[in-house]
Chains A and B, each alone.
Chain A
């Protein structure tokens, strides 16, 4: 959905999320599960870290030759009778998809889960044009009913509680008996399954994303657990794959390496339930499959990341491990990030895609704790890249003036040990003056600290004053 980014309001968004007790409980539980599963699965594979290195290397190689692999991929798709469309912008991609839909007079499209679809705001656009998009991934279906955006890249409805699902089904399935039993989770699942089953046969067009594109074979790959993506792409007359340009890998063996780290990192599975490699439209002898196969390759700012300090972000395979392990994401949930991609990967990617002015909050909202990098299967140095964004902000004077002044003042003091010592002495003395019982309860100009915690008072005297090192650094005589 093309919601205007609310990323600039990240602070307000996160305050609201932290005040939402239901969300807090939901996030803590869901992410706890995800972390435990990943820890088990990665720990059970002795070669896991070696595979991460190999996955990183193969993707680095691919990115260094991205133009050539895209050309190789394109020619393979065409050889199989598929069509490749290049979309420089989100708008280009939407138009391309609309034209394909109109060419077969589509009134509805089935959709497998795709973050690129979210990125280009496809659903709202299609609806405006009179084409009904039907999300078929269970999580996406739930949030489509609730008119929400995904709050997690692999668990889009991770923020939705069971009573909220029940309510959504009662409201949006009015043709079913109002007093039906929806108590058990299985009842909810069966109802969604039955509702969507018929829709698979109705749509003229099926749209899926792609976890990978294989240059060697021209195949698009989807990795799912529900089977909805396969039904969405097998039954309609037209299959459209929307994928961003960095999704290509050289060979099927390379795909195996990525798969070996993907499932374990995402859901703790050695292999997701369905991994499907698709090439072109149905062949003459095929009894099923789409008659047309289109691939829309989306750039939308990615080619501009190549050759910059953000190129490594293009290794991302969208497993979600970084957000599952992020204490900030756990505290505020995905919607607070205000656009399509939340968590650490979103904090790096969002400013690239919507600009630093709009997305600049996100790379700042990190303690640099490093857990994201620690678990990233592609070894993307996420904190380092967030810091690069802070540097760009600083260079472009987007860093708040107060912060800049403060840094300048502090740094010039710290560059002069004599001045610095005098300042430290004064600060230690002043803080002690404000304290009682070993702590400062309210610190002027530092309410952000003392609103939520005490400020421990300095012990008294600075270390350098008390140690009194001589010119050789030896301890001075005690006073």
Chain B
């Protein structure tokens, strides 16, 4: 008998026979619960239910609260120029690494050394397109794939992320709704809330433990 069978039958014995519940009933309960996927049955906190301008404001404030920085752009076309500015302000080389994101493909990157592909050992600056921003916590959700290689999120010393204002959602519930709507589940869904940090040395919080030292979010008007 395999470990799998032994573990499962031990559980079944305790949970079904000894608990006086039939497997049939238990299967129904599980199916019912899984059918609820997409609907939150637990309380949704007030902070996850903001709307409109207040929601955007909260998102920005929360981003800053987790040591990220934010700028607003009028249009996606302004992104390359704004990126040049940000890199200069941070004393970073004029280079950016990104994926095959269609929103970035049509832009004029001539002023930068813009390369496409996965993260490498040294990545001073990387760029990702977020799927949505969560006002509840200042979190950006990303889907991995050719458009957004997951390694860019963790290897960039400074990680830039782009969202449209309409990508900002109030809380985790709407975030999952957007993830579900975006198509089949990507290999990873990454929720990023500020730059990497650690307090493992001397219990003092420092930014940039292994992942990005800095996180910057561009919010583009629709």
Whether, in the assembled complex, A128 has its beta carbon less than 8 Å from a beta carbon of chain B, the answer is no
Binds B, one of A281-289, A338-346, A464-472: A281-289
Q: Mark B144-166, 1 if CB is under 8 A from A, else 0.
A: 11100111011100000000000
Question: Which of chain A's residues 135-159 have a Cβ closer than 8 Å to chain B?
Answer: 136-139, 142, 155-158
Please report the C-alpha to C-alpha distance between residue A475 and residue B106 in the assembled complex, in whole angstroms.
Answer: 95
Question: Which of chain B's residues 1-31 have a Cβ closer than 8 Å to chain A?
Answer: 2-4, 6-8, 10-15, 18-19, 21, 26-27, 29-30
Which of chain A's residues have a CB closer than 8 A to the CB of B155? 231
Chain A residue at smallest Cβ distance from B188: A278
- Asked if B66 contacts A273 (CB within 8 A), the reply is yes
- Asked if B7 contacts A271 (CB within 8 A), the reply is no
Which of chain B's residues have a CB closer than 8 A to the CB of A197? 121, 210
- Asked if A226 contacts B196 (CB within 8 A), the reply is yes
- Asked if B203 contacts A288 (CB within 8 A), the reply is no
Whether, in the assembled complex, B133 has its beta carbon less than 8 Å from a beta carbon of chain A, the answer is no
Please report the C-alpha to C-alpha distance between residue A260 and residue B48 in the assembled complex, in whole angstroms.
Answer: 11
- Asked if A287 contacts B196 (CB within 8 A), the reply is no
- Asked if A252 contacts B37 (CB within 8 A), the reply is yes
Which of chain A's residues have a CB closer than 8 A to the CB of B189? 219, 276-277
- Asked if B200 contacts A303 (CB within 8 A), the reply is no
- With beta carbons under 8 angstroms apart, the residue of A66, A67, A252 that contacts B176 is A252
Expressed in whole angstroms, the minimum distance between the Cβ of A66 and any Cβ of chain B is 5
- Asked if A276 contacts B188 (CB within 8 A), the reply is yes
Which of chain A's residues have a CB closer than 8 A to the CB of B34? 72, 215-216, 250-251
Binds A, one of B38-46, B82-90, B107-115: B38-46
Whether, in the assembled complex, A307 has its beta carbon less than 8 Å from a beta carbon of chain B, the answer is yes
Which of chain B's residues have a CB closer than 8 A to the CB of A273? 66, 192-197, 211
Please report the C-alpha to C-alpha distance between residue A234 and residue B118 in the assembled complex, in whole angstroms.
Answer: 11
Given the interface pairs A251-B34, A251-B37, A256-B173, the reply to whether A54 lies near B191 with Cβ below 8 Å is: no
Question: Which of chain A's residues 272-310 have a Cβ closer than 8 Å to chain B?
Answer: 272-283, 285-289, 297, 299, 303-304, 306-307
Question: Which of chain B's residues 126-156 have a Cβ closer than 8 Å to chain A?
Answer: 136-139, 144-146, 149-151, 153-155
Expressed in whole angstroms, the minimum distance between the Cβ of A350 and any Cβ of chain B is 21
- Asked if B211 contacts A256 (CB within 8 A), the reply is no
- Asked if B43 contacts A226 (CB within 8 A), the reply is no
- Asked if A274 contacts B192 (CB within 8 A), the reply is yes
- Asked if A275 contacts B191 (CB within 8 A), the reply is yes
Which of chain B's residues have a CB closer than 8 A to the CB of A98? none
Binds B, one of A13-21, A43-51, A172-180: A43-51
Given the interface pairs A45-B47, A231-B154, A253-B40, the reply to whether A155 lies near B202 with Cβ below 8 Å is: no
- Asked if B211 contacts A277 (CB within 8 A), the reply is no
Expressed in whole angstroms, the minimum distance between the Cβ of A274 and any Cβ of chain B is 6
- Asked if B206 contacts A234 (CB within 8 A), the reply is no
Question: Which of chain A's residues 116-140 have a Cβ closer than 8 Å to chain B?
Answer: 136-139
Question: Which of chain A's residues 34-48 have a Cβ closer than 8 Å to chain B?
Answer: 45-47
- Asked if A198 contacts B121 (CB within 8 A), the reply is yes
Q: Mark B195-222, 1 if CB is under 8 A from A, else 0.
A: 1111111111010111110000000000
- With beta carbons under 8 angstroms apart, the residue of B12, B38, B118, B190 that contacts A230 is B190
- Asked if A234 contacts B15 (CB within 8 A), the reply is no
- Asked if B150 contacts A29 (CB within 8 A), the reply is no
Given the interface pairs A230-B150, A253-B39, A273-B194, the reply to whether A155 lies near B199 with Cβ below 8 Å is: yes
Whether, in the assembled complex, B54 has its beta carbon less than 8 Å from a beta carbon of chain A, the answer is no
Whether, in the assembled complex, B172 has its beta carbon less than 8 Å from a beta carbon of chain A, the answer is yes
- With beta carbons under 8 angstroms apart, the residue of A50, A253, A306 that contacts B14 is A306
- Asked if A259 contacts B172 (CB within 8 A), the reply is yes
- Asked if A277 contacts B146 (CB within 8 A), the reply is no
Which of chain A's residues have a CB closer than 8 A to the CB of B200? 137-139, 142, 155-157
- With beta carbons under 8 angstroms apart, the residue of A51, A185, A235, A297 that contacts B206 is A185
Which of chain A's residues have a CB closer than 8 A to the CB of B42? 50-51, 54-55, 58, 253-254, 256-257
Please report the C-alpha to C-alpha distance between residue A88 and residue B196 in the assembled complex, in whole angstroms.
Answer: 36
Please report the C-alpha to C-alpha distance between residue A111 and residue B13 in the assembled complex, in whole angstroms.
Answer: 35
Whether, in the assembled complex, B181 has its beta carbon less than 8 Å from a beta carbon of chain A, the answer is no
Expressed in whole angstroms, the minimum distance between the Cβ of B110 and any Cβ of chain A is 24
Chain A residue at smallest Cβ distance from B117: A287
- With beta carbons under 8 angstroms apart, the residue of B30, B45, B199, B212 that contacts A227 is B212
Which of chain A's residues have a CB closer than 8 A to the CB of B138? 271
Expressed in whole angstroms, the minimum distance between the Cβ of A263 and any Cβ of chain B is 9
Question: Which of chain A's residues 186-223 have a Cβ closer than 8 Å to chain B?
Answer: 186, 188-189, 192-193, 196-198, 201, 215-217, 219
Whether, in the assembled complex, B36 has its beta carbon less than 8 Å from a beta carbon of chain A, the answer is yes
Whether, in the assembled complex, A459 has its beta carbon less than 8 Å from a beta carbon of chain B, the answer is no
- Asked if B185 contacts A219 (CB within 8 A), the reply is yes
- Asked if A253 contacts B38 (CB within 8 A), the reply is yes
Whether, in the assembled complex, A414 has its beta carbon less than 8 Å from a beta carbon of chain B, the answer is no
- With beta carbons under 8 angstroms apart, the residue of B15, B146, B190, B195 that contacts A64 is B15
Whether, in the assembled complex, B99 has its beta carbon less than 8 Å from a beta carbon of chain A, the answer is yes
Whether, in the assembled complex, A369 has its beta carbon less than 8 Å from a beta carbon of chain B, the answer is no
Please report the C-alpha to C-alpha distance between residue A380 and residue B172 in the assembled complex, in whole angstroms.
Answer: 25
Please report the C-alpha to C-alpha distance between residue A41 and residue B167 in the assembled complex, in whole angstroms.
Answer: 27
Expressed in whole angstroms, the minimum distance between the Cβ of A319 and any Cβ of chain B is 15
Please report the C-alpha to C-alpha distance between residue A71 and residue B14 in the assembled complex, in whole angstroms.
Answer: 16
Which of chain B's residues have a CB closer than 8 A to the CB of A225? 196-198, 209
Provide 12 A-B residue pairs closer than 8 Å at the C-beta atoms, listed in order of the A residue: A70-B11, A217-B185, A226-B210, A230-B154, A253-B39, A253-B176, A273-B193, A276-B191, A282-B187, A287-B149, A289-B144, A289-B187
Q: A225-B209, A271-B193, A273-B192 are in contact. List 8 more A-B contacts (CB 8 A).
A: A136-B210, A189-B198, A215-B34, A225-B197, A230-B153, A234-B188, A279-B187, A286-B146
Which residues of B are interface residues toward A (Cβ below 8 A)? 2-4, 6-8, 10-15, 18-19, 21, 26-27, 29-30, 33-34, 36-43, 45-47, 62, 66, 99, 117-119, 121, 136-139, 144-146, 149-151, 153-155, 172-173, 176, 179, 185, 187-204, 206, 208-212
- List the 9 shortest-distance A-B pairs measured between CB atoms, nearest first: A227-B211, A307-B14, A54-B42, A139-B200, A226-B209, A86-B4, A67-B11, A256-B172, A138-B200
